[in-house]
Amino acid sequence: MPDKVKTNPSTRRAFLGTAAVTAASYQRILGANDRIGVGFVGFGLIGKQHVADFKKFNDVDIAGVCDVYKPRVDEALAYIANPNTKGYADFRKMYESKDIQGIVVATPDHWHALLTILACAAGKDVYVEKPMTVCVDEGKWMIQAARKHNRIVSVGTQRRHGKGVAAARKVVESGALGKIHSVRMAAFRNIYPGFGKTPVSDPPAGLDYDMWLGPAPKRPYTAHRGLYHFRWFWDYSGGQMTNLGAHIIDQVFWIMDVKGPTLVMSTGGRYALEDDGETPDVQDASWVFPTFTMHCAIREANASRGDPGQAYLGTKGSMTITGSYQVATELKGDPVDDIPKFQGQPIGGPVYSNTAKKPWIEPSSGGVASDSRYGTGGEDTMSMNERDWLDCMRSRKRPLCEVEDGHRVSTACNLANMSLRLGRSIRWDPEKEQVIGDREAAAMCVRPYRAPWDAALRGVVKV
Ligand SMILES: NC(=O)c1ccc[n+]([C@@H]2O[C@H](COP(=O)([O-])OP(=O)(O)OC[C@H]3O[C@@H](n4cnc5c(N)ncnc54)[C@H](O)[C@@H]3O)[C@@H](O)[C@H]2O)c1
């Protein structure tokens, strides 16, 4: 992996690419009025949220907005209501604009990597939505492009900015929970029977479907292979594992300070929903790290367990995170007293000591309570992440949610989906970032891009 980010392990902040773009030289690029021109690719559910947020930043000019669905460009321009904002149907035209220093990518997932890579090559900094990639190697290419062109690339895994998450990280660092041997998380909801089936049809007027597909394989249009519902099709996304998993796994990676697992296994299928989606409605995945295991359970057609957020299970205490965090103690006792008593041990068996149990640690809690599924409750972490990106564009420092973080998290999600689709576990080398001993799995780390996008990719990065 390229190593131009100078990482300070204690703060995880670092100066980026000081050789080519310093904070001082960047100020010159911005010009006299010191404002940052931002262009948006994708004005969908979350693109519109980003535009709404950036409108509130008083050092930003919304210089351009691009969408392959023309009615959305029109809606965006009306919403932004600034005569200086330009609308685009083709991002390549917007990337040529000298008025734009930063690009926000909020398209379906299969476009994230290429749009980021081409923006870096065009000299723009990038805020790219999660999940960062649809296959493992895309993340390596994005890092390559960011380092080669000295760009600031932030990823939309904003929940790291939550006060509760930062405080929870300190709890883990302090060692208060003892040995944390497992992390468990879940995303449960009930959307039975699903979103229905949509027949093959012509794309709606104003949608450039070929451009929407971009690097993905050519397929006949159905409404679900388009706006919003793309996330339930393998060509464009990875289901809830990448959709919600990217958020919660990102927090675990940050809190536990890990690079990646050594073994990944996942099972599940689309058992209950009766629509035309492809990705699982039941998925269980386990990742093995040197000192702990991580498990994620996803259910799309039963919400009974609710969404417990994440649980960090240690020898002395457990911590749950649902925006805020709560620490509960384990009880310290004599292990022998945990053996069932029934009629008592016959002669020669273990001898009970009947020692009174005492708490190992004090309970504690902190942070702002939040909707654990969407993370939008008590704090506006998305705005914090956007602000962090803008500030890092000026300072050329490492954002809190940086491209390398996004790559590791997406890799964990993608490996789980690869395991599920292959029907076997995958061994992984987190240092070399390679599958071990499985050619079929290794081949799944790359997805071929459809022409002409394969050439566009190869024009910027070594694939
Ligand atoms: N960070 C978060 O909390 C969060 C929340 C929701 C969604 N997301 C992510 O945001 C992304 C978008 O999700 P959404 O729900 O907004 O999808 P959406 O379908 O509502 O919007 C995507 C938009 O991108 C446009 N588009 C597609 N290809 C394009 C291209 N080449 N150039 C320009 N426009 C293009 C589409 O026409 C559409 O308007 C997804 O990757 C999703 O995972 C992140």
DSSP element (H, E) containing 381: helix 381-395
> Does ligand 1 lie within 6 Å of residue 245's CB atom?
no
For residue 206, pLDDT over 90 is answered with yes
What is the edge-to-edge ordering of all strands in the sheet holding 102-105? 86-88, 60-66, 36-41, 102-105, 125-128, 153-155
Residue whose C-alpha is closest to residue 106's, from 87, 126, 79? 126
Is 66 in a helix, a strand, or coil? strand
pLDDT, averaged across the chain = 92
**Partners of 268 in the β-ladder:** 283
- Return the ligand 1 atom nearest residue 41 CA: 33
Fold of 23-161+378-402+444-458: Rossmann fold (3.40.50)
DSSP 448: P
375 Cα: distance to centroid of ligand 1 (angstroms) = 18
405 Cα: distance to centroid of ligand 1 (angstroms) = 20
Confidence grade of residue 8 (pLDDT, cut at 50, 70, 90): very low
Per-residue pLDDT, 49 = 96
Confidence grade of residue 59 (pLDDT, cut at 50, 70, 90): very high
Is 456 in a helix, a strand, or coil? helix
Half-sphere exposure of 432 (CA within 13 A, CB side): 8
Whole-angstrom CA distances from 429 to 142, 289, 412, 437 are: 20, 11, 12, 10
Report the alpha-carbon distance of residue 277 to residue 177 in Å, rounded: 41
113 Cα: distance to centroid of ligand 1 (angstroms) = 13
* Joined tokens for residue 235: 């060509």
**Partners of 426 in the β-ladder:** 264
- 2 prior amide bond cis, ω within 30: no
Domain parsing of the chain, residue ranges: 23-161+378-402+444-458
Instruction: With beta carbons less than 8 A apart as the criterion, state whether 384 and 399 touch.
Output: no
pLDDT by residue (tens digit) across 270-323?
A: 999 999 999 999 999 999 999 999 999 999 999 987 666 799 999 999 999 988
Instruction: With beta carbons less than 8 A apart as the criterion, state whether 214 and 111 touch.
Output: yes
Tell me the H-state helices in 133-277. 136-148, 163-174, 209-213, 239-243, 245-256
The separation between CA 117 and the C-alpha centre of its own chain, rounded to angstroms, equals: 17
Give the range with max mean pLDDT: 24-28, 200-204, 363-367: 200-204
> Does ligand 1 lie within 6 Å of residue 138's CB atom?
no
Per-residue pLDDT, 176 = 97
> Does ligand 1 lie within 6 Å of residue 129's CB atom?
yes
Q: Which residues, in sequence order, are CB contacts of 456 under 8 Å at separation 6+?
A: 114, 118, 449
Instruction: With beta carbons less than 8 A apart as the criterion, state whether 406 and 413 touch.
Output: no
**Higher pLDDT among residues 224 and 31, named by residue:** 224
> Does ligand 1 lie within 6 Å of residue 456's CB atom?
no
The mean pLDDT value for 224-240 works out to: 97
Confidence grade of residue 3 (pLDDT, cut at 50, 70, 90): very low
> Does ligand 1 lie within 6 Å of residue 125's CB atom?
no
**Higher pLDDT among residues 372 and 419, named by residue:** 419
The mean pLDDT value for 149-157 works out to: 98
- Which residue, by CA, sits nearest to atom 33 of ligand 1? 67
pLDDT by residue (tens digit) across 88-115?
A: 999 999 999 999 999 999 999 999 999 9
Instruction: With beta carbons less than 8 A apart as the criterion, state whether 132 and 409 touch.
Output: yes
Per-residue pLDDT, 379 = 83
Q: Which residues, in sequence order, are CB contacts of 146 under 8 Å at separation 6+?
A: 116, 120, 126, 152, 153, 403
For residue 32, pLDDT over 60 is answered with no
* Probe target for ligand 1 pocket from 43, 92, 107, 116, with the most ligand atoms within 8 Å of CB: 107
Report the alpha-carbon distance of residue 239 to residue 222 in Å, rounded: 18
Tell me the percentage of the chain whose pLDDT exceeds 70.
91
For residue 452, pLDDT over 80 is answered with yes
* Probe target for ligand 1 pocket from 129, 221, 242, with the most ligand atoms within 8 Å of CB: 129
The mean pLDDT value for 69-83 works out to: 98
For residue 377, pLDDT over 90 is answered with no
Instruction: With beta carbons less than 8 A apart as the criterion, state whether 225 and 377 touch.
Output: no
Tell me the H-state helices in 57-149. 70-80, 91-95, 112-121, 136-148
**Partners of 126 in the β-ladder:** 103, 153
pTM above 0.75, yes or no: yes
* Joined tokens for residue 194: 């699903």
Confidence grade of residue 461 (pLDDT, cut at 50, 70, 90): very high
Whole-angstrom CA distances from 361 to 84, 175, 328, 334 are: 59, 11, 8, 16
Is 128 in a helix, a strand, or coil? strand
**Partners of 153 in the β-ladder:** 126
> Does ligand 1 lie within 6 Å of residue 240's CB atom?
no
Per-residue pLDDT, 83 = 97
**Higher pLDDT among residues 20 and 395, named by residue:** 395
pLDDT by residue (tens digit) across 345-364?
A: 999 999 999 999 999 999 99
- Return the ligand 1 atom nearest residue 90 CA: 32
> Does ligand 1 lie within 6 Å of residue 43's CB atom?
yes
* Probe target for ligand 1 pocket from 40, 46, 92, 380, with the most ligand atoms within 8 Å of CB: 46
